[in-house]
């Protein structure tokens, strides 16, 4: 019997919670293929419904490369100030890794009420996560950090610590769902324009080197199909 990996289990658990809470339905479910394997090496799914624009999941599983990577990204509407929710859960051959965050829709330094409502409640959750034995910072540069929030958890973890981080993911998601339900303080500015620009940079191959690896695995056409679903 095949055992579900920890990253797969966490990703599917999170997606199930999103789907149930927001009444999402899958509108696209595409296999991702590679020249290095006769079988699909991944899956791109798009889900829509409820109060969000869409949720996008990208799964890449390539045992010969030691790759087991799962991304869940829930995008709020273009005119919404509620942050986007994102989770990456990964096993990379020698270690587990996680990227968990709420992506700001406004500049936090000049929207203090927004910061306090949307992000400040995450502080004890983030502090507790960093105190777990077996959790250590992952390498990510300040350029990428600038496009996320200061409450981003980007780390490596042992298998035991990765399992314990499930509670952190659940708590971040619960807080985000509360923001969707209750709303956030109003912010000024061009929300759709800022979001387009931020997502273009966030998922840019010039910013995130992971896209070069995805291109080598999937080819340029499929890589752009995945990236295109994330930027728009």
DSSP structure string for the chain: -PPPPHHHHHHHHHHHHHHHHHT-EEEEEEEEEETTEEEEEEEEEEEEETTEEEEEEEEEEEGGGTEEEEEEEEEEPTT--SPEEEEEEEE-SS-EEEEEEEE-SS-GGG-HHHHHHHTGGGHHHHHHHHTSTTEEE----HHHHTTS-TT-EEEEE-HHHHHHTHHHHHHHHHHHHHHHHH------S-HHHHHHHHHHHHT-TTT-THHHHHHHHH-HHHHHHHHHHHH-
Of all residues in the chain, the percent with pLDDT exceeding 70 is: 99
Of all residues in the chain, the percent with pLDDT exceeding 90 is: 92
Assess whether pLDDT exceeds 80 at residue 1: no
CB atoms closer than 10 angstroms to residue 116: 13
Q: How confident is the model at residue 3 (pLDDT cuts 50, 70, 90)?
A: confident
Q: Residue 192: its pLDDT value, please?
A: 98
Q: Residue 60: its pLDDT value, please?
A: 97
Assess whether pLDDT exceeds 80 at residue 213: yes
Q: Residue 139: its pLDDT value, please?
A: 85
Mean of the per-residue pLDDT values of the chain: 96
d(CA 14, CA 73) in angstroms, rounded, equals 10
Q: How confident is the model at residue 27 (pLDDT cuts 50, 70, 90)?
A: very high
6-231 carries CATH number 3.40.640.10: no
Q: How confident is the model at residue 94 (pLDDT cuts 50, 70, 90)?
A: confident
pLDDT tens-digit readout, 45-90? 999 999 999 999 999 999 988 999 999 999 999 999 999 999 999 9
Q: Residue 2: its pLDDT value, please?
A: 62
Q: How confident is the model at residue 176 (pLDDT cuts 50, 70, 90)?
A: very high
d(CA 202, CA 221) in angstroms, rounded, equals 19
pLDDT tens-digit readout, 128-172? 999 999 999 998 889 999 999 999 999 999 999 999 999 999 999
Q: How confident is the model at residue 36 (pLDDT cuts 50, 70, 90)?
A: confident
Q: What is the pTM of this model?
A: 0.96
d(CA 156, CA 139) in angstroms, rounded, equals 9
């Amino acid at each position: 019997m095949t055992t579900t990996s920890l990253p797969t289990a966490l990703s599917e658990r999170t997606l199930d919670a999103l789907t149930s809470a927001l009444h999402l339905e899958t509108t696209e479910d595409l296999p991702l293929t590679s020249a290095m394997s006769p079988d699909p090496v991944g899956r791109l799914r798009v889900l829509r419904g409820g109060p969000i624009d869409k949720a996008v999941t990208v799964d890449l599983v390539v045992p010969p490369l030691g790759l087991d990577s799962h991304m869940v990204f829930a995008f709020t509407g273009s005119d919404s100030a509620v942050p986007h929710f994102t989770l990456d859960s990964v096993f990379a051959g020698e270690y587990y890794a996680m990227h968990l965050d709420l992506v700001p829709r406004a500049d936090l330094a000049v929207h203090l009420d927004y910061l306090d409502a949307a992000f400040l409640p995450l502080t004890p959750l983030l502090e507790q996560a960093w105190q777990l034995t077996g959790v250590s910072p992952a390498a990510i540069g300040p350029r990428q950090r600038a496009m996320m929030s200061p409450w981003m958890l980007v780390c490596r973890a042992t298998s035991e610590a990765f399992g314990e981080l499930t509670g952190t993911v659940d708590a971040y998601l619960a807080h985000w769902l509360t923001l969707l339900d209750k709303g956030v303080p109003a912010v000024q500015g061009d929300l759709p324009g800022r979001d387009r620009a931020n997502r273009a940079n966030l998922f840019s191959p010039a910013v995130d080197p992971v896209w070069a690896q995805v291109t080598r695995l999937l080819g340029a056409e499929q890589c752009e199909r995945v990236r295109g679903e994330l930027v728009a």
